[in-house]
Amino acid sequence: MTLLKYGGAYQDRDVIWVSRIPESLRRYPAVTCPDWPLNGEWPEAFNMGVMMAKKNSDFLKNFLKTFKYYRDDKWAFNAVFMPYKAYELHPDQLFVDRHLQVICFKGICHPAWHKDYIRDISDPRPVEPFDWRDARAFHFTVPKPPHSLSSPQAIRDGTDMFSEIGRMILQKSDQAALLS
């Protein structure tokens, strides 16, 4: 695993960053964020779509050991529940940053710093309003991407949070001309 060998940051391909990684997070041996769906007896779970770790992180080593229980038919068991189990056994090896990623599912974004972020996966209620600038990254699980991020024209003409994020990214990357 590259992250274990070299350290650094990992992101799924459906993630966009909306802020710099603070220097304060770089001091931790590993950093990740809770996932939002309610999962029976599991008090929390971790979505590993965005994570950071130092070279030879003990947390990553312990997470990889959980793969001896790998279930080919249950991706969430392997990728969501087992990282949490590794954390339960070794909480000193991981910093939980609730602002690391906001996970968006079916048009509802779930900021893990809100008190009611854990919900049933079929709960269609919107979350309380939040400032997207309080997040470090957005992880778009379903659909990919939101329509307002699908093209420069959609970003330019959009009025929602995602088009606002798109405009900020294009401006900071000196690509604002794409909005003309």
Q: What secondary structure does DSSP assign to 125-142, as a single string?
A: PPPPP--GGG-SEEEEEE
> What is the average pLDDT across 4-10?
97
The DSSP code for 65 is H
Could you read off the pLDDT of 74-114 as tens digits, one per residue?
Answer: 888 888 999 999 999 999 999 999 999 999 999 899 999 99
User: Residue 134 is encoded by which pair of tokens?
Assistant: 């309080």
pLDDT at residue 51, as a whole number: 97
Residues 6+ away with beta carbon under 8 Å from 95: 25, 28, 29, 30, 31
Residues 6+ away with beta carbon under 8 Å from 49: 11, 12, 14, 15, 101, 103, 139, 141
- pTM for the complete prediction? 0.93
Cβ atoms of 94 and 30 within 8 Å: the answer is yes
